[in-house]
Structures are given as C-alpha cells and as structure tokens.
Structure 1
Amino acid sequence: MLENSEIVLETADARLGFDAGSGRLVRFEPAWDAGQQFIASAADHPVFVLQYLDEGRAYQTVDSFAAGTVGIECEAADGGQTLTMRFEGVGGMDLDVTATVRAWSDQTMSRWSIAVRNGAGLEIVDVQYPFVVTSYRPGGKPNGEALLLPRDIGLLIEEPKPEDLGPDSVEAWRFGPENSVAVRHGHGANSQHYPGAVFAQFMAYHNESAGLYMACEDTDGHIKMLHALHLDPGIRMGMAHVGDWPREGERAMEYDVLMGAYRGDWYTAAGIYRDWSLKQKWGTPLHERKDVPDWILESPVHITIRTQGTLDTGPVFPVEEFLPYEKCVPMLEKISQRVESALVAVIMSWERGGPWVYPDCFPPIGGEESVTAFAKMARERGWHVGSFCNGTRWVLGHFWNQYDGREYYEKHDGASSVCRTLEGEPWPEQWDVDWRPSYGGCMGTALTCDIATDFVKRLIGWGMESVQFFDQNLGAATFPCLATDHDHPAVPGRWMNDAMANLVKRFHGEAEAAGEDGVLQSVEFQCNEYCLPLFQQCDVRLSPKGTGYPNVVPLYHFLFHECIILHGMMGYGPEPYHLPIRNALNGVLGEIPGGAMIGDGTLLNKNTVNWAPWEPRVGSDDDALEMIRTVTALRRGAGRPFMVYGRLQRPAEVNGIETICWDREVNHYEMPAVFHAAWTSPDDAFGVVLANWTTEARAVAVADERLGGRATCHVAGREMVDQEAVEAADGVAVALPPLSCAVVVGRG
C-alpha cells in the first residue's frame, strides 16, 4: 500500500516503509509499539551496494542511485505483498539489479532477495543487501539498547555509540590485510568473514520494548561479511554476499534474508536463529554424531605444555624442565591423580624454527624420538596427546630467535602457494608482524594442502590424537585469496568451503590409514556453523566479566554447544583466583576444564588468555586443581547430559549469590561467588549447573518453574552427594561446598 509517498508492507509483527521514489528502507516499526522507529534513514542511503573489480583489478563501487532507470512496484502475491525494485543500467553499464521484498500479514518475517544480470563482464566481488541503518535510540531516548553480533563467543554491545562500532567505509567491506574491521578487532583480516570468525549469519538490535532481527537462511555456506558500523545518523547493520556472481549472465541469490520484529533480549533473538540453524545439515547433536571419539566424551582434563620460551612476544629458549618430553610424565601424573581424571597433554611451541614457525618446523625441538616416546607413555596411562599448530600460514621469520625462513620459502616455492592481495602481492598477516612475519596459505593450491597433510600425518605418526592444525584459521576460516593464477576463482567464494572440506577429509584419511580411529580435529575459537560436521572440538576461551574481551555473552554456547565438544584450557580470569574462576565458568558453560603447566608441575594462574611469566607465582595451585576436579567429576557424572550433550537455555533465577570484591594492583574486581547456567538435556530434562569458585561454603536457592514439582541435587565437592532437593522459601536450596560444582535436575 502507498501512504504519504511510502510503500508500506506489513507482517504479523511489523510495518516496513519504503521510499516510493528510491526504494530505500525508511521505516521499521513493531506492530505492538509504533513509537519504536528502528530505521534512521538518510536521503543518500541506497537500496544496495555492489563492488566489482575493474580491468586493473582495483575495487569499484556502484549502488542503486547509479541506475539509469528505476522501476518500483508493489502488488499482492501469494497471499501477501511483494515489493519489486528494478534498477537497470547501473553505473551506465549493461548491469541490472532486481531487489525484492515479500511480506505476509500472518508471518513474522519479511523475506528479502536480490538478483543481478551482468552483461558487462564485470568481476563482481559482492552485493550488499539489504541496506539497513538502525536508530541508536528507536524510541527517541535511551531504553536499554543492545546490539548482538555472532563473533568472539558472542558480542553484546550495550548502549552502543559510534566509537564502539567504528565507521562505515569502503575499506570495511573489502578483502585485504588493511580491512578496517579486522584491524579494530585485533584479529587477522583473513578470518573476519562467514563462515569463519563470524560463526553464524544473523544480527539483532533491541531495547526494552522491541527488537529488529536480520538473518540469512543460507544452507550452503556462501561467503559473507556481517558488520555493524556507524553510518550517519545510525548503525548500519550490513550484509555483503561475497563471490559466485557470474561474469556473464544472471544469478538470483539462492537464499533469502529475513527481517522481523521481536520482543525480548539477546536470548530471544538467538533463539529465533537457533530454531532454524539446528535444523540444517550442520546441526547434528553430539549424541548422534558417529565421528566423535569416545575418549573425548569422557572429558579428559586439558593441560598445555609450552616447550620454548614462556611468552609469544619474548625470548625463545628450550624449556629444560620439559625436555626431553619424558620429563613431563611425572608432573602430569601428579595432576592426573589430583584431578582424578585422564589428561590431554597439549604440546605447543615445539617447532624447529621457533614457536609457531610453519612449515619449516621439523624436526621438533627435543627430537622426534622423544615426542614419540612421550606420546607412548601418555597413552599407556590412558591419556591422550595433542598439539596446537599454525594453520595455513607460511612463517618467514621469528625476531626473538633470529630465525630467517626466506631461503626455505624460496627453495620450496612458497610464493606459489600463499594468498594474494588484489595487487598480486603475498597477503601478510598483521597481528603478529612485530615478531613473526608470515603470509596466509591459500587452501586453493595443491602445495598448501600437501604440506598441511604431510604435517598432520607426521603428528599422527608421533601418536597425537588431538590435532588443532587450524589454530590460527580462526573459527575454521579458509583464508581468502584474490590470485589470478591459482586453481580457484579469483575472488573469495564458495570454493573456500570446498577447500576446507577437502583438506579436513585428507586429515581424517591419514588417521584412518594409520589405524588411528581416535584422532580428532579441533580449531581455534568458535567453529562456525557450516564447518561443524568437519570438526569434533573447538578451543573456546572464556572471559569473565571485567576481564579480557569486553561485551561478551555465551552466544556460541547457546547456539551450538550440543553439536561439538568445547574445551577451555585457555581463557581469562582475574588474579589471584584465575584458574578457579575460569574453570568454574568452564563448568557451568559446558567446557572441558584445564590449564597451562609450568616448570615445577603446577599450573599458570595468571590473568592471560594463554601465556605469562611464571614468576611471581599467584594464587593457590591446590584450589585450581580442586576446581578442575569437581567440574570434571560432574561432567562425567550427573551433569553429563547437560554439560556435555546439553542445550543452553535462558538463565534461571538463583537467589543468595554474594558478590566478591577485591583490588589487585590497579584493578578492581567484582565477581559472583557462584556461576550458574540453565540447560536442557537431549531427553528434555531441565537442569541448572552451579559452580562455587571460592574457598567458603555457599548457600543459594534456585527458583525456576522449569524444574517442575520435584528436583534432585547432585553436588561434586570433596565427595559426590546425590539427594532430593529441599524447597526453601526462595527456591530449591543448594548447599555448595568450597570449590564445588553442582547440578539441580527437575523431575517433573
């Protein structure tokens, strides 16, 4: 319908308004509150943006305003309304774009699609659509606004301001080492896409009254950029659909973008997405997966052993306490006995050329015979051995030990295998260039894949069963490459997903050929949804509030915990209680606990995501080990249906939790004495997992109708106690001994 020069579409929950002349989105109002205007439109906001490469392979940008002719019509169709916007002769070229929006009054989501006819022979990189700019204050004044993004473990930016987001710019939407979004986030520009460090394909913005939800219903892993950036006068919630656009001919995008209104918080928006995502081909739950080794389901405690240096950005030297590797066994035995669990001993920084040097990494420091003997000794004890590696990066040097890998690079034709920028230059990694210069390796080349396969084969031959080869391909990202002389299309696209799948298949083939059916593949950070079937485990590093990563929420756990094993061997936590706090949080959020071993066999108890100097010692090692023990005991016992196989739910109300406050150096910390999370099991039981990280007993009460009329309480403290839960005035009473973990299970 046409209202005051606006074309209006209506869903069951929202009214959408479009400028009748340009087609740009100018209105999005929830049906229950017309005072919440989510769109902050400006006259220069287009309907779409299209990026292509010119004959010199330089980026060029056109948008809907560059069309020679524009035709906009709205008609009734399929019981709803369809808005069709045709843009012909875009940029004065033989290039036509048709954008469509469909809405139905009995459905909550509008559906957006786009088609491009390319008769100009353009090398199209991406199409950005829909073009949505939301208001910082949809109701005109602050009202608890929050922006949810699927990166890190989940970003929830409350009361967002322009400086929290960074500016919208052409650089933000272009593949290259200078990508402004990657620089801002501090991670490599070669992982900041979906599927990759962006692990799902939705975003949401809400306040106390309503929210705006956007998602792609793409089951085939098309490459995308999803960014939230400042664009006057609001927040651009942008999506770029990357690659696979024909040089000649027409393509209608194979999936829809959904937009709808919702009432609630980030759990509400994430729940909408989860309901769709877990029904797709990647959503197989752990209890149905056939490729996950039984041993990892028993939750062996993960212990890191760093064999060179104590810091990434510090001197390189052999750690004599750990070499030869057999020296580690007595220290690990003490840990294993104390935590009453098998271990995964994860050896790191063993590379010949220095920590994290690849592919010039063999033989390992300490020798292959020693590594193999260590793995044999570990496996004889029922333990397992693994390694974090370097992913597909070709390291050229290490400034802390003067390693120079340029001759090796030239001798082995490394230049033919690395990712290329638009200019045809090797794509340099940026985040660690001050100590370890490197190029990303292109998985679209045979050399990259052959070297990687030989590497993994060698580790399996040593006896390793936990292989995190993709340690720096964050989220299982395939690095983009724009080379014109590689055996793949010259822009990013779905070829990247095929390359990842083929390489991981080769890894599994090597394990099968070696008769090692217990080898698993892991990845650094949160494995993106599309790659979930390829990996059995991922390394998810938590950050309690006030430490490490700001603005994080357990979005990844909420979406995908039930599909893949998570371990928390690394992560943040404030001193002097770093390990008890981090592993208590690991426990309630369903991650395997662990830590990094130092030279005397104790664990590093510093507030770092990975490494820190061993001295001065901090905190209590016995407290750290006790927290790991109780979390592990519950994961292997009554908590298993929730902590291993469960689906994270909206938190329960837990009363009586004391806030612990302390100061350390210049920092002030406030931390709940008890962490908790709510879960459902595969058989739909409801449970609340709690962990007391303090050295004092705590009494709390769980008030949640989802527990039903009766509940049982299972507490892992010095002993395992199973008992009928006792109702108190403010909920089910739970007595938590010091450094304990518990689960309250509803019995209907």
Structure 2
Amino acid sequence: MKEIKEYSLLIMSLCIIVFFTECKSNSSPGEIVFIENGKIKLGFEKETGKFISFSDVGHSYEFIERNMVKGLPWEVNFHSSSAGSESSSGIFPTKFSFSKSNELTLNLEWEGFEGMKELKVKAEVSLDPDKALSYWSIKAEGIKGNLIKSIDFPRIQGIKNLGDEELAIPTWMGSLVKNPRESLAASNAKVKRWSWSYPGSLSMQLIALYNPNLTGFYASCNDSLSFAKDFAVTLDTLNTLEYKMINYPTFDSTLTSYHSSYKAIIGSFKGDWITAAELYREWGTKQKWCDNSRLKNELSPSWLDSTALWIWNRGKSDNVLTPAVELKQKLGLPVNVFWHWWHHCSYDDYFPEYFPPREGRKSFKNAVKSAQEEGVRCIVYMNSIQWGDSSGSWKTEGAQPYSVKDINGKMRSHAYNIFTGNSLTNMCMATEFWKNKYSSLCDSAVNVYQTNGVYMDQACLSRMCFDKSHGHKIGGGNYWVENFGNLTQQIRATVSDKTQPILAGEGSGENWIPYLDAFLTLPVSRERYAGVTNTETIPFFQAVYHEYALTYGSYSSLVTPPYDELWPKEYAPKETEQLLDADFNKQFLMEQARAFVWGMQPTIANYHSFLNSERAEEINYLLDIAKLRYQALKYLLYGEFCRSPQIDYPEEEIKISKLSIYAGRKGKSVTTFNKKVSLLYSGTWKAKDNSVGIALASISDDTLPVHFSINSEDYKLSDKGKIYIRTTNGKELLGSYSNGLINVEISLQPKGICIVEIVPSV
C-alpha cells in the first residue's frame, strides 16, 4: 500500500509545477498585497500569491516585468523511481491565503492540491527594518509518502534587463560576466540556464546582477550550516531572467514536512560587485567559519605565512626540488613546493595508488630531507575524493560500496585522463571507509616520507549521495562538509607535527575555512584554460574573506606543459617544458600582477633555472613581486580588502595563450587569442594598525604616471597623516595629507611595482 500511495500520484519522474494559467496579467493595485520598509517594496498577487512586484524605492526602479510572471515563487519537484523517460504534470492549488504578522512580514499559504489533499505550502517573507533586504523561508507539509527531489524557492520570474548588466558570481575565486543575457542567448542548450552548486563551485552564497549606474539585484542565503543547494538563472524567449535557489531536502518518503533551516535573501543595492561583497561580508565574517579560521587563529605553521613564492612543478625530485632550492638561493626568501606527479601511479588514472613514490622510497626521502635542510618545504598532491575504478586496489580493497551514488543508484564516475580513458569515481566523504583510507595516505605522506603536508585536490567540492548504507542522510543535507571537517581532524590527529604539515585544497569556499590552511585559487590564470570570453576573474572571495583564508596558486608559466612519463608513449609530444613564444610573456606578467594586488601568495608553474637567462625580465618581475609582498604582509596577507581609488588604467592588446596544463593533447597545440588588458593593476588593503596599503603593478614597457585622490573617511582614517611609497628598494616618505584629502602622484617605471601606504595620525 505504501508504494501505491507513493507513486500512484506520480507518473514516472513527476514534477509538481505550480502555476495559474488563467490568472489576470494586468492586476490593478487593489489586487496586490505589498510590504515595504522605505527601501524596497515587494508585491504578491492576492488571487494567486505570485510574486509580481519588486521595487527599489530609493531609485524608483521596478525589477519585475509583471506580464512575464507565469508561476508561483516556489516549485516542488517530486521524484519517481519508476523506469522510463521522465514526464511531468501540473498539480494546482485551489486555495491561496495570506496574512501579515506585522507591517514588515507577510505569510503566504497554498493548499487544496488535487490528488494531494494533505499538501500545504507555506512561505514567510519579511523585510529588514534597516536595509534593502528581504528574508524568505518555506515549509511544505503533508508530503509523507512522496520523495522530494528539490524545492525551488525563491523563484523570481520576469527580471527586467537593467541595461549594461554585469553578473557577479563567486565561482570559487569569482567571475564577472558582462552582458549575461547575451551569453545565455548564445548558448546551444535548449534551456538557456546557468546553475552553480553550493557548497562547491560557489565559494559563497550569493549572486549579484546589476547596472553599476542604476541599481542591482542581490540574491543570497544565510545558511551557516552548509546545506546542499544550487543557485540558477534562466533566460526566457522574451529576454527576461528567472532566478531561483534550488533546495535539496533529505530524500526520504517518511518525512511529513520540510522546513528550511535557513532563509533566502533578496534585495537591491547601488554599486558593483565590490558593493555586493561588502554587503555579504557583514554577514559572512560573523559566522563560525571565520571564528574558527586557521589563518586568523594562527593555527597554521608559521612557514606557510612566511612563504614568499610557490613553485608548482611535476615529476621526480630533480625536476621539482632541485630548481626550487636554486630559486630560493636566488630570491633570498622562503620558496616552497607544490608537487604533482611524485606518486607511483599515473596522474588521473589509478588513484589512490600513490605509494611508493615513482622515483623510489629512498631517493624520495633523501631529496625531501635535503631540500628541507636548504629551507625548501614541499606539499604533495593526493586527490581528496577520487578512486580509479580500473585500478587493482578498487577491487582488492572493495571500494565500490563506499562510492557516491546518484539519485538512480549509479556511481559518479568521470574519465579525466583522455589518454587512457580510465575513469575516476567519487568516494563518499561520509563513510568511515574513505576517511580511514585517506587519513592513512596522509599518514604515509607525512610520517613515513616526511613531507610538509598534502594538497587535497577537489577539496572544495561537495556531492549529494543517495546510498542508504553509508549512514548519512540521503540526498540533500550538510553531511559532506561536516565529514570533511572530521576527515581533516582525523588527519591532524594521525600525522606528526615534526615537519609542521599543512593541508591545502583546490578552490576556495567559506565552509572550508576552518579546515584548510591554504586555498589554491587558479582563476587568476583563467585565460590559460578558458581562453578569452566575456567573463573576467574577480577577487570576489578575497574581497570577503582575505584575512581569514590564505590563497595561492597560478597556472602562470613561461614554458609548454609537461607530460606524465607514465601516460601512453604514443601521445607524448616530442618536447615538453620548452619556452613558450615570447609573444605570451605579458600574459605571464599580467597573471603575476593580478595575484600580487589581489593579496595571493605568488606561484610559478613549471619553473626551470634556464628561465633566469631566457626569460630574465619576467623572472625578475616575479622575484620583485615576491620581495615587495614580503615587506607588506600586514596588507597583502593579513589585511582587509578595500575598494581601490579611481585610477586611469591604460590598456594594450596582448597575445593570450590557451593551452592545457598537460602537453600532448592528442595533437592540439597552443590556441592564441588577442585581448585588450590593463597595463596597471591595483589592490587596496587595510591593516590591523589602521594603515592602508595600495598595491600597484605595471606591466607596461613605458613609464606610467599615476595620480589619484581619495578621502580619508572612505577608509575610516583620521583626517591627517603621512603618505609613503614602498618599493623593493625600501620605504620613503612621499608627503603628508590633511583635512581628509589624500592626493598621490607618482611615476611607475616600466614594469614597476610599489605599495603606496597611507598612515593616519593617531
């Protein structure tokens, strides 16, 4: 009887799509119920509960094209396990009611669903008393006997074109899309839609769509417990956007109701992505992930903070540690190593068969010890979730039962290795089997082979798992991040402190701030893997969490990529790690300039000593950045992100190379783009002592005059103080300021870097 009840209402994969096809499209003001706080005004249709009005009161702007709103502000999607193709059917409520708890809070209720008489959907929408923000929560009752795949809420349709739009998304580091509707319209997909997962590809819970000269649409969430959800935007045929947050309840037919433990946030703002970051930062930095930040609480070993430069090389120790020691001697500051392809198995193939190291146990240990004696530390690559299902250990260790299963009970596998075609399969973070396996690998890497830590590839991702045997909630929930935290705790309890090991991870994410010591943020080199598009990398994550999370990394390289010696010989290129064409040198400079002014630890990929002569100008630029940054850690490591002053940025068209990080992509060579880029980069940081540092980096071949003016009150400084300039040659006084007006006028030498310091009087 239970199964009959569960599926009799659902044909195959049934999705409840709730909308009213006969509703009037031109409602008069008397047919709308409003709530308003003097900053924003929200309106719902009295007859149906459709969300048909969202006004920015201060800027007299209406975000929603009322005629384009066809559905309710929510959608419940049920799942059927019946075999066959998916189909959907509309189930309509016959009754809608509303009430006001107070002048800022509206309660909405839908009921009377044909065939599902117990179902009730309730929503509460309240306005912030002081800000242009609203808070949305939802509850679905009477759902027992049904499997909920997702609940889309809030669902906001008919978002007008703001004109000159920009869309800011915190995709790990951050992306800024110019003219997003144009990009969506150009997609070949049947449904013109973008979606991003959290926790995972979204490092924070927000997106911002805005015209910097008009107003902006702000969509966020205040989930402090890391529940699985997606954020999505869809373009319809009439060029209006739909935004929705997709919530994932536990996949359990015995549940009688679902009530989100967090609230969605919808608001408006005037400004740009930095304004949105500042708005989010007010909430984000008050959460437990910042309270427990390893950087902020000085829980990471001091050598990590003191790292002046990372080398990201691959292969055996003579191709990795030896050049690092040489560069450390040349730089005169700490250089450390981010080490791939040290392991026994070929890359992206037979993970986690990492041991013994491919060059042999004795050689590896001796090389690590020798490098450490020279002051060079190394962290080694080990993927945090993948097991090669073609490997011998997959069968001998019985890994399959502990892998992630999707909603249909299938494993999540993907062939990253295009040469062998062998796939890697996701392991479930919530299983003791995988936590024990991975912590034992870290035990070997640190305790046996004496490395200085582990780089946990694919760390800042999460998966929903539907395997009931794993002991976690099925489907949606927050078990992934919780268990990642348990894994890192287990690792740290297992490994010795002798080598002062760290745990670094791929990407960035607010949820992982208490668990990882460093975050690899590679979008600083986005063009190398994505080419030139209308999407630009922005330091969105750093703008919110810089002083709580250490970021490093770059694909920035001056040579062609390597090829794993364990991959098939027939695909190996004739030469690897040879000089890239000098036309791409400015791309390298641009990447290093970005990383410098965005407060990241600098990194060079595939470094070799011959670059000191063959690409002397570029290597010296990198070394100067490392030296200057080292003098200014109070800004560039521990400082808070601030908006930079308005500066005239000259531009130049340069050559851009798009090339896989691995050579030999079955005959594919460098793809070349032309891109107009800035010749001057800036980043502004406020130190704990209340001084402000403005980092400037030129990639121009000419001297650049730099002039800007700022008001001290914009940075909460006293109205008088001194202005200094810091270069690799030291620090000197430029002048002083008074009456709150700060004027700076300097000349940057070709490819010059500096930090302008504003030191207020006490």
TM-score category of the 2 structures, normalised to the smaller one: 0.7 to 0.9
TM-fit CA distance, 1:545: 8.7
Structure 2 residue aligned with 1:420, among 400, 405, 429?
A: 405
TM-fit CA distance, 1:411: 1.9
Separation (CA, whole Å) in 2 of partners of 1:67 and 1:100: 20
TM-fit CA distance, 1:671: 2.8
Structure 2 residue aligned with 1:541, among 511, 522, 546?
A: 522
Structure 2 residue aligned with 1:27, among 44, 50, 53?
A: 53
Structure 1 residue aligned with 2:261, among 248, 251, 254?
A: 254
Separation (CA, whole Å) in 1 of partners of 2:276 and 2:705: 33
Separation (CA, whole Å) in 2 of partners of 1:18 and 1:413: 55
- 1:691 is aligned with what amino acid? A
Indicate how the Cα distance of structure 1 residues 456 and 10 shifts in structure 2: closer, same or farther if over 3 A, else same.
same
Corresponding residue number in structure 2 for 1:643: 636
Indicate how the Cα distance of structure 1 residues 432 and 255 shifts in structure 2: closer, same or farther if over 3 A, else same.
same
Q: How does 1:51-90 map to 2 (within 5 A)?
A: 51-56=77-82, 66-75=91-100, 77-89=101-113
Asked whether the 8 Å contact 1:715–1:736 carries over to 2, the reply is no
Structure 1 residue aligned with 2:198, among 191, 194, 197?
A: 194
Separation (CA, whole Å) in 1 of partners of 2:690 and 2:104: 37
Specify the SS of the correspondent of 1:288.
coil
Separation (CA, whole Å) in 1 of partners of 2:168 and 2:112: 35
Indicate how the Cα distance of structure 1 residues 432 and 651 shifts in structure 2: closer, same or farther if over 3 A, else same.
farther
The alignment status of 1:116 with 2:140, answered yes or no, reads yes
Asked whether the 8 Å contact 2:156–2:244 carries over to 1, the reply is yes
Corresponding residue number in structure 1 for 2:68: 42
TM-fit CA distance, 1:226: 0.9
Indicate how the Cα distance of structure 1 residues 743 and 57 shifts in structure 2: closer, same or farther if over 3 A, else same.
farther
Structure 1 residue aligned with 2:463, among 470, 475, 479?
A: 479
Q: How does 1:310-329 map to 2 (within 5 A)?
A: 323=316, 325=317, 328-329=320-321
The alignment status of 1:712 with 2:723, answered yes or no, reads yes
Asked whether the 8 Å contact 2:429–2:435 carries over to 1, the reply is yes
Summarize deviations over 1:216-249 as a string: whole Å, max 9, x none. Answer: 1111111111122224542121101123376323
Corresponding residue number in structure 1 for 2:7: none
Corresponding residue number in structure 1 for 2:487: 503
TM-fit CA distance, 1:202: 1.4
Indicate how the Cα distance of structure 1 residues 14 and 599 shifts in structure 2: closer, same or farther if over 3 A, else same.
closer
Corresponding residue number in structure 2 for 1:144: 164
Asked whether the 8 Å contact 1:50–1:124 carries over to 2, the reply is yes
Asked whether the 8 Å contact 2:468–2:474 carries over to 1, the reply is yes
Specify the SS of the correspondent of 1:295.
helix
Q: How does 1:484-563 map to 2 (within 5 A)?
A: 484-511=468-495, 514-516=496-498, 518-526=500-508, 528-543=509-524, 549=530, 550-563=535-548
Specify the SS of the correspondent of 1:82.
strand
Separation (CA, whole Å) in 2 of partners of 1:740 and 1:714: 12
TM-fit CA distance, 1:364: 1.7
Structure 1 residue aligned with 2:305, among 278, 285, 297?
A: 297
Summarize deviations over 1:369-418 as a string: whole Å, max 9, x none. Answer: 2221122112112221112322211123xxxxxxxx35432222121121
Specify the SS of the correspondent of 1:387.
strand
Separation (CA, whole Å) in 2 of partners of 1:741 and 1:382: 27
TM-fit CA distance, 1:714: 3.4
Indicate how the Cα distance of structure 1 residues 536 and 329 shifts in structure 2: closer, same or farther if over 3 A, else same.
closer
Summarize deviations over 1:136-186 as a string: whole Å, max 9, x none. Answer: 424xxxx322222221422222222264378899999xxxxxxx858xxxx
Corresponding residue number in structure 1 for 2:430: 444
TM-fit CA distance, 1:599: 5.6
TM-fit CA distance, 1:492: 3.1
Which segment is superposed worse, 109-118 or 40-49?
40-49
Separation (CA, whole Å) in 1 of partners of 2:109 and 2:118: 17
Specify the SS of the correspondent of 2:537.
coil
Specify the SS of the correspondent of 2:268.
strand
Corresponding residue number in structure 1 for 2:215: 210
Separation (CA, whole Å) in 1 of partners of 2:88 and 2:280: 31
Corresponding residue number in structure 2 for 1:736: 748
Indicate how the Cα distance of structure 1 residues 422 and 167 shifts in structure 2: closer, same or farther if over 3 A, else same.
farther
TM-fit CA distance, 1:517: 6.8
- 1:699 is aligned with what amino acid? P
TM-score normalised to the size of structure 2?
0.82
TM-fit CA distance, 1:532: 0.9
Separation (CA, whole Å) in 1 of partners of 2:680 and 2:697: 5
Corresponding residue number in structure 2 for 1:582: 591
Indicate how the Cα distance of structure 1 residues 111 and 39 shifts in structure 2: closer, same or farther if over 3 A, else same.
farther
Indicate how the Cα distance of structure 1 residues 494 and 32 shifts in structure 2: closer, same or farther if over 3 A, else same.
same
The alignment status of 1:265 with 2:265, answered yes or no, reads no
- 2:548 is aligned with what amino acid? C
Separation (CA, whole Å) in 1 of partners of 2:587 and 2:277: 29
The alignment status of 1:623 with 2:617, answered yes or no, reads yes
Corresponding residue number in structure 2 for 1:243: 249
Could you list the runs of 5+ residues in structure 2 that have no partner in the other structure?
1-26, 559-582, 657-670
Separation (CA, whole Å) in 2 of partners of 1:433 and 1:150: 29
Corresponding residue number in structure 2 for 1:336: 328
Asked whether the 8 Å contact 2:324–2:336 carries over to 1, the reply is no
Asked whether the 8 Å contact 2:628–2:754 carries over to 1, the reply is yes
TM-fit CA distance, 1:663: 5.0
Corresponding residue number in structure 2 for 1:468: 455
- 2:226 is aligned with what amino acid? G
Indicate how the Cα distance of structure 1 residues 436 and 730 shifts in structure 2: closer, same or farther if over 3 A, else same.
farther
- 2:98 is aligned with what amino acid? E
Indicate how the Cα distance of structure 1 residues 440 and 14 shifts in structure 2: closer, same or farther if over 3 A, else same.
same
Asked whether the 8 Å contact 1:51–1:60 carries over to 2, the reply is no
Could you list the runs of 5+ residues in structure 1 that have no partner in the other structure?
173-179, 183-191, 308-322, 397-404, 604-618
Separation (CA, whole Å) in 2 of partners of 1:170 and 1:488: 35
Corresponding residue number in structure 2 for 1:616: none
Separation (CA, whole Å) in 2 of partners of 1:91 and 1:378: 71
Separation (CA, whole Å) in 2 of partners of 1:109 and 1:453: 43
Separation (CA, whole Å) in 1 of partners of 2:362 and 2:759: 54
Indicate how the Cα distance of structure 1 residues 94 and 74 shifts in structure 2: closer, same or farther if over 3 A, else same.
closer
Specify the SS of the correspondent of 2:585.
coil
TM-fit CA distance, 1:47: 2.5
Specify the SS of the correspondent of 2:488.
helix
Asked whether the 8 Å contact 1:286–1:562 carries over to 2, the reply is no
Separation (CA, whole Å) in 1 of partners of 2:188 and 2:243: 10
TM-fit CA distance, 1:35: 4.6
Separation (CA, whole Å) in 2 of partners of 1:420 and 1:151: 25
- 2:140 is aligned with what amino acid? V
Corresponding residue number in structure 2 for 1:681: 687
Q: Size of the alignment, in residue pairs?
A: 678
Specify the SS of the correspondent of 2:383.
coil
Separation (CA, whole Å) in 2 of partners of 1:300 and 1:687: 18
Asked whether the 8 Å contact 1:128–1:241 carries over to 2, the reply is yes
Asked whether the 8 Å contact 2:557–2:607 carries over to 1, the reply is no
Specify the SS of the correspondent of 2:137.
strand
Separation (CA, whole Å) in 2 of partners of 1:713 and 1:59: 68
Separation (CA, whole Å) in 2 of partners of 1:576 and 1:287: 34
Corresponding residue number in structure 2 for 1:702: 708
Indicate how the Cα distance of structure 1 residues 287 and 641 shifts in structure 2: closer, same or farther if over 3 A, else same.
farther
RMSD: 3.2
Indicate how the Cα distance of structure 1 residues 299 and 666 shifts in structure 2: closer, same or farther if over 3 A, else same.
closer
The alignment status of 1:671 with 2:680, answered yes or no, reads no
Asked whether the 8 Å contact 1:137–1:145 carries over to 2, the reply is yes
Indicate how the Cα distance of structure 1 residues 735 and 235 shifts in structure 2: closer, same or farther if over 3 A, else same.
same
TM-fit CA distance, 1:667: 3.2
TM-score normalised to the size of structure 1?
0.83
The alignment status of 1:371 with 2:396, answered yes or no, reads no
Asked whether the 8 Å contact 2:404–2:463 carries over to 1, the reply is yes
Specify the SS of the correspondent of 1:677.
strand
Indicate how the Cα distance of structure 1 residues 464 and 407 shifts in structure 2: closer, same or farther if over 3 A, else same.
closer
Corresponding residue number in structure 2 for 1:128: 152
Specify the SS of the correspondent of 1:9.
strand
Which segment is superposed worse, 371-380 or 161-170?
161-170
Separation (CA, whole Å) in 1 of partners of 2:31 and 2:541: 42
